[in-house]
Amino acid sequence: MVVCVEITDQVTYRKKLEENEFRLKMAVEIAELGVWSMDIDTGIFELNDRCRKIYGFLPEEPVNLEKIRATIEPKYLAGALEVFDEMIANKTAAYEHYIINQQTGQRLWIKGVGKLLDTDQSKSRISGIVLDLTHQKEVQQRKDDFIGIASHELKTPITSLKSSLQLLNALKEETDNKMLHKLIDMSNRSMDKISSLLDALLSYSQVSEGQMILNKTTFNISEIINNCCGHVIASNEYTLVLQGDKDVGINADEHRVEQVVVNLVNNAIKYAPDSKTIYIIIERYASFIKLSVKDNGPGIPEDQIPHLFERYYRIGQSDKYQSGLGLGLYISSEIIKRHGGEIGVISKLGEGSTFWFTLPID
């Protein structure tokens, strides 16, 4: 007896599956992706060839969590383990750290993301990808080093230029020469711009090299608004409206907090110039304060919001109309994070933006 079954669908399905598998394999190879998967119960890893090469494991060498842990530079170990817990708790988490390749001893900067697989059979597996970004990290480091050296070298001549200008300012009244007055005023304006760019570069170097030291004191958060936003109040073009809890003291680095507030207020003026009223709202919670800077400007496209606090990030057209390095929000977020606070923005196109940060009270 012969039984015939028509299996066209199964064959087509299998072919499609093979095709997709091939495409995926190609993509993984081209992107040089290390792919890993770990059994949470046993801690045993399965790694593709690229992943083994990145970590320096031999082709057939069994790999477990202990072995992976041993590759991570001690400085990053605690953070890496936290990320691992996060993967289990939040289902997905990303990591970036230095490892030591077990074959060559080379120090490699890797970036990866892991995901807890949620299907019933594979409940206890975490899978992820990893990329070797050592070259990009080195380029970034060279750029940071250059900014560090250049800004440091510029500090002395700019300080002496500034003192000369202050002297010229004092002498200005002794002459009626209109041209001289105009030139001195222009120089003052340019000097203010150079100073704020240099401040941004110096702060960036301190932040990126982890050298930012916080000098904490107790001060009233609303008082710093008058100290640091005097230039806006004096200009008479914009109105600063302070709302909320005006009498709350915090323990933080006053100069650094001022830097953040100035940056947010200056951004409101720069990027929302038609919004003539800027609101500063202070809210007090049990253990922290929240300060928001609100404008009624053009707002920010939703897809740009997650990137705003990254270094050198500027929204497409902003570079055309306004000078800036794309570092202000990055520096602000590092300052706030160093204090143990959080920073963010709520914005909708056409409805303005509210940048906010929180700081622990003690």
The only residue of 36, 204, 271, 288 in contact with ligand ADP, by rule CB under 6 A: 271
- 50 versus 311: smaller Cβ distance to ligand ADP: 311
Footprint on residues 227-256 left by ligand ADP (CB under 6 A): none
| Cα-Cα-Cα-Cα dihedral sign, residues 182, 184, 185, 189 | positive
H/E run at residue 125: strand 125-132
Residue 129's nearest CA partner among 144, 140, 148, 113 is 113
Find out whether 279 and 353 touch, Cβ atoms under 8 Å.
Answer: no
Residues 55-84 touching ligand ADP, rule: CB under 6 A, are none
Q: Does 294 bind ligand ADP (CB under 6 A)?
A: no
Kindly state the smallest distance separating residue 300's Cβ from ligand ADP, in Å: 5
Looking at the Cβ atoms of 271 and 288, the one nearer to ligand ADP is 271
Q: What is the DSSP string of 261-297?
A: HHHHHHHHHHH-TT--EEEEEEEE-SSEEEEEEEE-S
Based on the shown chain and the rule CB under 6 A, indicate whether residue 259 belongs to the binding site for ligand ADP: no
267 binds ligand ADP (CB under 6 A): yes
Question: Would you count residue 344 as binding ligand ADP (CB under 6 A)?
Answer: no
d(CA 186, CA 192): 10
Q: Which of 324, 333, 336, 359 binds ligand ADP (CB under 6 A)?
A: 324
Count of beta carbons in the 10 Å neighbourhood of residue 78: 9
Tokens read off for 251: 């323990």
Q: Does 265 bind ligand ADP (CB under 6 A)?
A: no
Note whether 315 binds ligand ADP by CB under 6 A.
yes
The answer to whether 334 contacts ligand ADP (rule: CB under 6 A) is no
The whole-angstrom separation of Cα 56 and Cα 54 is 6
**Count of residues near ligand ADP by CB under 6 A:** 21
How many CA atoms lie within 13 Å of 201's alpha carbon, on the beta-carbon side? 20
Q: Minimum Å distance from CB 327 to ligand ADP?
A: 6
From the list 34, 128, 297, 341, which residue makes contact with ligand ADP (rule: CB under 6 A)?
Answer: 297
Q: Where do contacts with ligand ADP occur on this chain (CB under 6 A)?
A: 263, 267-268, 271-272, 295, 297, 300, 308, 313-315, 318, 324-330, 353
